[in-house]
Amino acid sequence: MSMIIGIPKESLPGEARVAMSPDVAMKLGGKGFRLCLESGAGLEAGYHDDDYVAAGVEIVDRATALGSDLVVKVRKPTGEEVASMREGALYIGFLETCDEDDEILQAMFGKRIRPLAMERIPRISRAQSMDALSSQSNIAGYRAAIEAAARYGRFFPLMMTSAGSVKPARVVILGAGVAGLQAIATAKRLGAEVYAYDIRPETREQIESLGAKPIELDLGEEGSGEGGYARELSDEAKARQQQLLADELARAHVIITTALIPCRPAPVLVTESVVKRMREGSVIVDLAAANGGNCPLTEADEVVRRHGVILVGHTNYPSMMAGDASTFYANNIANLLAIMVEKQGDELVLKDLDEDEITHAALVKPTA
Ligand SMILES: NC(=O)c1ccc[n+]([C@@H]2O[C@H](COP(=O)([O-])OP(=O)(O)OC[C@H]3O[C@@H](n4cnc5c(N)ncnc54)[C@H](O)[C@@H]3O)[C@@H](O)[C@H]2O)c1
């Protein structure tokens, strides 16, 4: 018997991604998995049922996809989805919660469903190919820079024409993690003059290697935390950071903010007084909009104009590039599956998920 992977259609309004792409499905089929996709699940990402059938996937109804041994999704499951899942099933997807008492998690535990949370894959080199937070943030960083360029009513590059010359746009990127570095690279390719800031000093070299100029501030505190993430600053250092950044930010024509500490509200880096000082028509793309924003004037899922500045608060850039985002995500899932199973004769057998540090970290268990 082969292990059956069910892929339901994403149910969150506006979510265009799907957890499996036809080419990755074909590879998994070759490894002995049987894949069942809910009819139409890939349509918004540009993948038709026929593409999946050609890759060896069975097209099924929603109940069958959700009732599989292993269900893979992008977004956190809904109560209805958990109710349709079978007792003791495995689940792989983003769980989008830091709260162990979360209702959906509890509903899963109530059915002995074992969830592997994609956001808990550790940021270690062996897990890079499974790191869906990074694969999706990379897309978000690119798309954020494109969005900024499209909303900004002027040029990003230096333009010298017979009708006049314009200086390049001054773009500041706050947070030089995965999304931030990709935003820097994209804004540079578009010809902007790019500056970037992060509290982790080790990012300086990466910022420079992309051709941007690092902004350095003396906060009197070290910002590096565990696992490649930042540490939360003291209130004193936060205030100092806002103050020291203010002049740099007020001069910017475009700000792209990506500052994050997992499971914490987004740090405020762009204050209202800075927005007031920015030039009319400047743009702030706030990637942290879903977590409160790096600018308090950002509104999640809205584009608003405040004090003459355009604030962009989209919370799902990967979904705007759903075809590639789904393929990256499906590859992350396939690479995770590769360490979860082993072949015994003709059969795929699930390994002990606590034995490998990656699956151990991703597996969410009820608290005792
Ligand atoms: N809007 C979207 O569609 C979308 C999609 C993907 C990710 N995101 C968001 O983008 C953000 C970045 O994600 P990522 O994967 O690049 O995270 P990351 O952890 O790789 O990068 C975040 C960076 O912010 C830095 N940082 C933290 N606090 C800071 C502070 N006070 N000042 C300056 N820098 C600070 C960290 O050092 C780190 O380098 C997150 O908020 C994430 O939720 C949004």
Per-residue pLDDT of the chain (368 residues; tens, 9 = 90+): 678 999 999 999 999 999 999 999 999 999 999 999 999 999 999 999 999 999 999 999 999 999 999 999 999 999 999 999 999 999 999 999 998 899 999 999 999 999 999 999 999 999 999 999 999 999 999 999 999 999 999 999 999 999 999 999 999 999 999 999 999 999 999 999 999 999 999 999 999 999 999 999 988 887 887 777 788 888 999 999 999 999 999 999 999 999 988 888 899 999 999 999 999 999 999 999 999 999 999 999 999 999 999 999 999 999 999 999 999 999 999 999 999 999 998 899 999 999 999 999 999 999 87
CA 3, CA 153: separation in Å to the nearest integer? 53
**Strands (DSSP E) along 98-239, which ranges?**
114-117, 159-161, 164-166, 170-174, 193-197, 213-214
What CA–CA distance (Å, rounded) separates 52 from 41? 10
Domain 4-120+321-362 and domain 139-319 have a common topology: yes
CA 21 to chain centre: 18
* Topology annotation, domain 139-319: Rossmann fold (3.40.50)
**Is 260 close to ligand 1, i.e. is its CB under 6 Å away?**
yes
**DSSP readout, 264-321?**
SPPPP-S-HHHHHHSPTT-EEEETTGGGT-SSTT--TT-EEEETTEEEE--S-HHHHT
Model pLDDT, residue 204? 96
Count the Cβ atoms, other than its own, within 10 Å of residue 276. 13
User: Beta strand pairing status for 34-38 and 193-197?
Assistant: unpaired
Tell me 215's DSSP state: P
Q: Which amino acid is at 341?
A: V
Per the CB < 8 A criterion, the answer to whether 277 and 306 are in contact is no
Query: Residue of the nearest CA to atom 37 in ligand 1?
Result: 230
Provide the token pair at 278: 């920015």
The response to whether residue 275 sits with its C-beta less than 6 Å from ligand 1 reads no
pTM of the model: 0.95
Residue 59: which H helix or E strand, with range? strand 58-60
Can you tell me the distance from the alpha carbon of 79 to that of 119, in angstroms, rounded to the nearest whole number? 20
Q: Give the CATH fold of the 4-120+321-362 domain.
A: Rossmann fold (3.40.50)
Q: Give the pLDDT score at 346.
A: 85
- List the domain boundaries for the chain: 4-120+321-362, 139-319
Six-digit token pair at 97? 């919660």
Ligand 1 center from residue 173 Cα (angstroms): 11
| pLDDT on residue 1 | 61
Protein residue with its CA nearest to atom 39 in ligand 1:
177
Q: Is 231 an annotated catalytic residue?
A: no
